[in-house]
Structure 1
């Protein structure tokens, strides 16, 4: 199998499997578990895909993998937002005192969130790709 296709296929399959698992696990997730499940896992999938698809690391591959990661994020976010315990998590991590307040956005799929998360996945994956490229040539 062509290394480029292998890289993208591995990323797609792993993102799909993790999306299903996060939808099934839709239980009382703490904030740390939500962050790990929605943000860190896709980056680990990308890293694993770079290891499996050894020779073909291009910016197009990173872009395609970031789109898969974004789809995973949307599926997982919808699952988390429809969890009955999500409002409790929002309330638990919100703080307000006078003019100072910290709160989580209740809409995890807002356009600004999606743009930020796509750029986050893309930049981190690109840096990981560059790191693997340098380690291969060293």
Structure 2
């Protein structure tokens, strides 16, 4: 069953319309799903791809900030590392369902407020 995209000449919005068969595309008239107009222009759609079960590809996937922070927290705990004071605030914001953009801002603020690491304490370590 083909799906075609049309741009409405009246309202300018795009509608995706499912037809039962290729022959019905020729026989049936399409209507804008936003305003009901039949004055439509068919668009060239992006190609779709069917993915078989278990197939992995290079597609982007949606990242859940809450799960990401939970995973990072477990990794810090398992490694015995202190992620810093800012991590707690990021974890709270992620648990509250804040957007990734908001979390980025929280991270920037946390980094500004972190004390500067003393690079002089690293000098001489590891080299003899």
Name the larger-Rg structure: 2
Structure having the larger proportion of residues in strand:
2
Structure having the larger proportion of residues in helix:
1
Structure number with the bigger relative contact order (C-alpha 8 A, sep ≥ 6) is: 1
Do the two structures share a fold, i.e. TM-score over 0.5? no
